[in-house]
Structure 1
Amino acid sequence: MLPLSLLNTAQGHPMLVELKSGETYNGHLVNCDNFMNLTLREVIQTSPEGDRFWRLPECYIRGSTIKYLRIPDEIVDMVKEDNRKNGGGRGGRGGRGQGRWGNRGGNRGGRGGKQ
């Protein structure tokens, strides 16, 4: 399960975001991008000490400042079910590509000497 597919599925659902600074944001996920920047609506922001609260109609959170996200279990279950239906994620045969000369290192190497 990839984090961005989980976030895309979570759009419109409530979530908790904790920043590296200790602030927390509770709100409904509106949007996320490939850098994991988030837009939340109907947000309650909590200070790092947990003693002050602010209500915000909408906020934008830069992905690089996020420590962790808490998403409802049913969202995780939905993504797992989608992966099962679609054949399990990334697809393909797995492993790495073999490049230009297969897996042998091209025309170099071997037992020494020049080939």
Structure 2
Amino acid sequence: QLVELKNGETYNGHLVSCDNWMNINLREVICTSRDGDKFWRMPECYIRGSTIKYLRIPDEIIDMVKEEVVSKGRGRGGMQQQKQQKGRGIGGAGRGVFGGRGRG
């Protein structure tokens, strides 16, 4: 997987984990400087999601994710799609029907 940061550095390695903020852990990493003249080899690294410009993810990884989503039967927000939504706003009339008292 190739990761380019906003500062121009690139990191190429094996994706270990990723969280909801796109913070990622890579292993067996090769880091390339912004101008491409310096290289570093690292056993592992952590990259904060807010510093990432773009990711290049291999097609086989994308295919694996697609298969996983199909097997689970849902994507983002799947619980809301499967269950009947309950809570405020769906029921009948209650307090606040006439628009409330305002704030001033």
Which TM-score band (shorter chain)? 0.7 to 0.9
Q: Could you tell me how far 1:79 is from its partner in structure 2? A: 0.9
Aligned residue among 56, 63, 70 for 1:70 = 56
Which residues of structure 2 form unaligned runs of 5+? 100-104
Aligned residue among 80, 97, 100 for 1:108 = 97
| Partner AA of 1:100 in structure 2 | R
Q: Could you tell me how far 1:103 is from its partner in structure 2? A: 7.4
SS at match of 2:81: coil
Output the TM-score relative to the length of structure 2.
Answer: 0.72
Which residues of structure 1 form unaligned runs of 5+? 1-14, 111-115
How much is the aligned-residue C-alpha RMSD, in angstroms? 2.5
Q: Could you tell me how far 1:102 is from its partner in structure 2? A: 2.3
- Hey, what does 2:9 align to over in structure 1? 23
Aligned positions, number? 94
- CA separation of 1:26/1:105 partners in 2, compared to 1, >3 Å: closer, same or farther? farther
Q: Is structure 2 residue 34 aligned with structure 1 residue 48?
A: yes
Q: Could you tell me how far 1:88 is from its partner in structure 2? A: 2.8
Output the TM-score relative to the length of structure 1.
Answer: 0.66
* Identity across the alignment (%): 66
| Partner AA of 2:37 in structure 1 | D
| Partner AA of 1:88 in structure 2 | R
Q: Could you tell me how far 1:65 is from its partner in structure 2? A: 0.7
